[in-house]
Amino acid sequence: MSTRKKTIQINPLFFSRQKQKKTKTRKKRQKKNISYQLKPNDVKKQLMNKIKEYQKKKRDLNQENIEHEKKDNNNENFQKNFSDHMTYLNSVIKENKIKKQKKKERKQKKEQEEKNNEIQNGIDLKPMETPVLVNNNTNTTSVILHENKSPPPYSCLKNSSKPTYRQWQKSLKEKLPNTIQIPIKTTTMPTPQPLSTPNPILIRQNKLKALQASNKKEKKEKKMKKVKIRKTTFKLGKHNNCISVLVKNRKTRKKIKKECNLLKKKSISDIKEYLRQHNLIKIGTAAPEKVLRQIYENAYLSGDVFNKNPENLIHNYMQN
């Protein structure tokens, strides 16, 4: 047997928790001296770019000058056109004035001619001889003279020069003198009045006016129709174990109401027979008439309802 011992050596740094700081040292690199050499093609390109820039500047300057000249020309043309239009407008106004003046003169001339014709026609016509008749009847006219009423000694205003009616009644001492107005009848002497025959032209004119007035229909005022707004509220959806649906068509609604009224008029024997056939009630039930009618209406309206309860089926079968 060999008595050799093996020893294991461990670095004590491995047992320490602290990390060792690494010391990094970078070597300085030497910069390479690069010699930039200009290539002939690059030089040519640069020169070409500079020439292009110069040409562009020149072109822009020329364009600006041309635009400026155009603007000046446009202003001159506008002023020239404006002056031409103004002269034309003035000429139109003058022409219209001349036309109006001529029209006015023509109208005045026409009116003058019409007046002259009327005067000539009046001279040619002979005056109508109207016979004068003396009326022998004597007319008596009575004139009644009334004295102006004196103003009342009281007024309706407070703090005025006259007292109020109440104050005047209280402080009344002197009675007012009673004045009696006697109508004075005066008669005038009868004077002969000439009776002239009525002019036929005036009579015809009056008749024509009367006819025109009768023909004119009186414009009746149109009565405004009163629009009555009637509001109806419908509770739709599920409410108190009842589902309600809105039927928009009026005719169908009327039809449904009519059918409901017909169901209410059904006899109690028909109702019981229907309910027995559909097993909704048992034979010999003592339910009141109101309840039976309600069950019948609801069953009929909801659609042919049939009860499949075995108890009701057996009971009705045995009783039959």
**pLDDT (average), residues 206-219:** 77
Most confident of 25-34, 55-64, 292-301: 292-301
Tens digits of residue pLDDT in 245-296: 888 898 998 998 999 999 999 999 999 999 999 989 988 888 999 999 999 9
| Confidence at 175, pLDDT banded by 50, 70, 90 | low
Q: Give the residue numbers spanning the domain of 304.
A: 266-320
Whether residue 57 lies inside any domain: the answer is yes
Whether residue 213 lies inside any domain: the answer is no
Q: For the purposes of burial, counting CB atoms within 10 Å of the CB of 222, is it exposed (0-12), middle (13-18) or buried (19 or more)?
A: exposed
Whether residue 28 lies inside any domain: the answer is no
Domain's final residue, options 91, 114, 137: 114
Domain's final residue, options 114, 132, 162: 114
pLDDT at position 157: 79
Res. 143: pLDDT tops 60: no
| Confidence at 313, pLDDT banded by 50, 70, 90 | confident
Whether residue 173 lies inside any domain: the answer is no
**pLDDT (average), residues 216-235:** 77
Gap between the Cα atoms of 60 and 174, Å rounded: 120
Tens digits of residue pLDDT in 152-161: 888 887 778 8
Whether residue 103 lies inside any domain: the answer is yes
Whether residue 83 lies inside any domain: the answer is yes
pLDDT at position 171: 82
Res. 189: pLDDT tops 80: no
Position with higher pLDDT, 115 vs 186: 115
Total number of domains constituting the chain? 2
Q: Token pair 């009186």 is at which residue?
A: 218
| pTM given for the model | 0.28
Domain's final residue, options 114, 134, 161: 114
Position with higher pLDDT, 73 vs 142: 73
* Closest residue by Cα to residue 67 from 57, 56, 59: 59
* Closest residue by Cα to residue 199 from 129, 121, 134: 129
Whether residue 70 lies inside any domain: the answer is yes
Who's near 263: CB < 8 A, 6+ residues apart? 296, 297, 300, 301
pLDDT at position 317: 86
Whether residue 161 lies inside any domain: the answer is no
SS3 state at 201: helix
| Confidence at 120, pLDDT banded by 50, 70, 90 | low
H-assigned helices in the chain: 40-124, 165-170, 200-215, 250-264, 268-277, 289-302, 310-319
- What is the chain's Cα-based Rg? 64
Tens digits of residue pLDDT in 59-109: 888 888 888 777 777 777 777 777 787 888 888 888 889 999 999 998 888
Range of weakest confidence among 47-61, 77-91, 207-221: 207-221
Q: Each residue of 2-25: b (16+ CB within 10 Å) or e?
A: eeeeeeeeeeeeeeeeeeeeeeee
